[in-house]
Amino acid sequence: MFKRKQQTDDAHSKYPIAGVISLVILIMAIFILCMNSFYNVGEQEQAVITMFGQVQGVKSAGLYAKIPFIQRVHKVDTTTHGMPIGYTVDQDAGRDDEESASTTTVANESTMITSDFNFVNIDFYLEYRVSDPVKYLYASSNPDSVLKNEAQASIRSTVVNYTVDDVITTGKSQIQAEVKEKLIAALAENDIGIQVVNVSVQDAEPPTDEVMQAFKAVETAKQGAQTAANNANQYKNEKIPAAEASADKITQDAEAKKEARIAEAQGQVERFNEMYAEYTKYPLITKQRMFYETMEDVLPDLKVIITDGNTQTMYPLDSFSTQVQSAGNASSATEESK
């Protein structure tokens, strides 16, 4: 009798514990069910809802409900992402600031051949974002890898059309514009739900130190040539106006002399015509007048020499006249002194 009562008391003592455990399991099941019935989508995300492998819709930012354990939520980050091509970015452990970051060159990505058969290391930075989350998740098993491969193909097909000088110096902006255009076309053909935001050249340099030094020497020579050309142009710009002014002065002087000679010739022609008109009226008188005028011009400068035809010594008349004039002046001075 006592034993049966003890068994009954033990059974009653176990039942409350089992009830508590059942209640706890029920509460946990309800909690898990509630947790799987709601989901939250962030501001920079989009969620793709699937059920039995079929896409049911795309949700933007907000709080939503779903059928637990049947519908699945795949969240996709829609912010702009960056992808280095030709190098990798390494950061110190425990630090995320850019100052602690260092880069490592990836030779098989950065080494390119140019149109003049030279090698060059060129690095790009690609910025992209997800434009269609459904295609991003299901159009390709690894869309980021497809993007990188297409970017490398676009870069190589573009750089090969430029010389090494253009790649390193002045052609960077045009190269990155062409790469972006080709990459956009390739992604549109693949249709993997990714949109290109920007493509920029980070760095371009020769692959070895020796080649780099040679290019620096070439650039120095180019700068020297440009400086010499600028100096020559400056000298030209300084000398040409002076030469043009001198040429204008010479031309003006020649024009003035030409006008003077023409005017003089026209005056002589008019004088000759007037004289000819007088000659036709009075030929003898005109001849005599012309003879006398000519003698007036000739005789003052003419030297007269007297000789008997036999002696070898000839005496110019002007020396005698000078002596006579000097003697006359001396005698006049003597008489005046008396």
Give the tens place of pLDDT for each residue, 198-240.
999 998 887 766 666 766 777 788 788 888 888 888 888 888 8
- Assign 81 a pLDDT band (cuts: 50, 70, 90): very high
Q: Which has the higher per-residue pLDDT, 308 or 41? A: 41
Task: Report the range out of 52-61, 66-75, 103-112, 146-155 with the highest average pLDDT.
Answer: 146-155
> For residue 2, what pLDDT is reported?
42
Segment 91-116 shows an average pLDDT of 72
pLDDT tens for 130-173 read 999 999 999 888 999 999 999 999 999 999 999 988 898 889 99
Which of residues 315 and 236 earns the better pLDDT score?
236
For residues 312-321, average pLDDT:
53
Round to the nearest angstrom and report the end-to-end CA distance of the chain: 207
State the chain's mean pLDDT as an integer.
Answer: 80
The 8 Å CB, 24+ separation contacts for 47-51 are 47/73, 47/74, 47/75, 47/76, 47/133, 48/73, 48/74, 48/75, 48/76, 48/133, 48/134, 48/137, 49/73, 49/74, 50/74
For 81-207, CATH number out of 3.20.20.70, 3.30.479.30, 3.40.50.880, 3.10.200.10 equals 3.30.479.30
Question: Can you give the residue ranges of every domain in the chain?
Answer: 15-76, 81-207, 208-297, 302-332
Measured CA to CA in angstroms, residue 31 lies from 28, 273, 291 at distances of 5, 137, 149
pLDDT classification of 311: cutoffs 50, 70, 90: low
| Whole-angstrom Cα Rg for the chain | 57
- The contacts of residue 334 (CB under 8 Å, 6+ apart) are none
What percent of the chain has pLDDT above 90? 26
pLDDT at res. 13: 52
